[in-house]
Chains A and B, each alone.
Chain A
Amino acid sequence: AAGVIQSPRHLIKEKRETATLKCYPIPRHDTVYWYQQGPGQDPQFLISFYEKMQSDKGSIPDRFSAQQFSDYHSELNMSSLELGDSALYFCASFSPNEAFFGQGTRLTVV
C-alpha cells in the first residue's frame, strides 16, 4: 500500500535561504500534519490541514507557511532559514483509525 511520501529526503541550505518541503499523503486521506523534530528533541506539531483548510496551528514560526493543494498534497515553505531550523520534518497522513508518518525530510542549515 502507498505510504506518505515526503520529498526531498535530505536538504542542505544556507542561512537566510528558502526551503520547500513536500508531502504526499496516503490516497483518500484528507488530513495532513507537519511536525518538526530537532536533534534529540521530540517532534513538535507545526500545522495541520483538513480538506485543504488549515485546521490547527502549533509552534510554527512566522517565517514558515504551509498549504494543502487540491490533490491533498501539502507544502511547507520556510524562509529566512536559521541554524535552529535544522531538524527532521515529518508529515503525517491521518485517517480515523490510523496515523501514518512520512519518513521525514532532514533539513540542515549551514
Chain B
Amino acid sequence: AQKVTQAQTEISVVEKEDVTLDCVYETRDTTYYLFWYKQPPSGELVFLIRRNSFDEQNEISGRYSWNFQKSTSSFNFTITASQVVDSAVYFCALSESITSGTYKYIFGTGTRLKVLA
C-alpha cells in the first residue's frame, strides 16, 4: 500500500544549524510525484517542491536542498543555515494516479521544525 513516512515528529535546532527532514515512501506505481509542503504557524500550506519519479536529480534552491533516491524510496529535505522563519510543520506527500485523471495524495504526518534563536 502507498505510504509516506516522516519518522521525525519534531526537531529542534539552533539558528544557523543545518537540518535534514526525512521522508520515506512506499508505492507500487512507477509514475508518481513527491512533494514537500511547509505549513507555517499562520496555517497556510506552502508548496516547496515536486519531484517526478523519473527525475532523480537532486535540487538546490537557496538554503533548501532535496535528495531523492529511488533505491531507498527516500526524498529527504535539508535546510542549510536554518533561520527562525523556517519554524513550521513540513509535510512530505506522494501523489499517485488511481485511474486516468484521478490522483490520490498521501501526506506524511509532518515534521515540526523549531528553530531557536
Residues of A in contact with B (beta carbons under 8 Å apart): 30-31, 33, 37, 39-40, 42-43, 45, 48, 50-51, 55-56, 58, 88, 90, 92, 94, 96-99, 101, 104, 106
Instruction: Report yes or no: A104 in contact with B102, Cβ–Cβ below 8 A.
Output: yes
Instruction: Report yes or no: A94 in contact with B45, Cβ–Cβ below 8 A.
Output: yes
Select B89's contact among A45, A50, A96, beta carbons within 8 Å.
Answer: A96
Instruction: Report yes or no: A45 in contact with B47, Cβ–Cβ below 8 A.
Output: yes
Q: Tell yes or no: B39 within 8 A of A by CB.
A: yes
Known: A42-B33, A43-B95, A99-B107. A50 touches B42 (CB 8 A): yes
Q: How many B residues touch the partner, as a band?
A: 20 to 34
Q: Which residue of A lies closest to B46 (CB)?
A: A56
Select A33's contact among B33, B45, B50, B89, beta carbons within 8 Å.
Answer: B45
Known: A96-B89, A97-B110. A43 touches B43 (CB 8 A): no
Closest Cβ–Cβ distance, residue B68 to chain A (whole Å): 15
Residues of B in contact with A (beta carbons under 8 Å apart): 33, 39, 42-47, 50, 89, 91, 93, 95, 101-103, 105, 107, 109-110, 112
Closest Cβ–Cβ distance, residue A54 to chain B (whole Å): 9
Closest 3 CB pairs of A and B: A56-B44, A50-B43, A55-B44
Select B43's contact among A31, A37, A42, A45, beta carbons within 8 Å.
Answer: A31
Interface centre among B95, B101, B110 (most CB of A within 10 A): B101
Interface SS of A by simple majority: strand
Enumerate chain B residues within 8 angstroms of A37, measured Cβ to Cβ: 103
What are 22 sample pairs from A and B whose C-beta atoms fall under 8 A apart? A30-B43, A37-B103, A39-B101, A42-B50, A43-B95, A43-B103, A50-B44, A55-B42, A55-B43, A88-B101, A94-B39, A94-B45, A96-B39, A96-B110, A97-B110, A98-B110, A99-B45, A99-B91, A99-B93, A99-B107, A104-B102, A106-B101
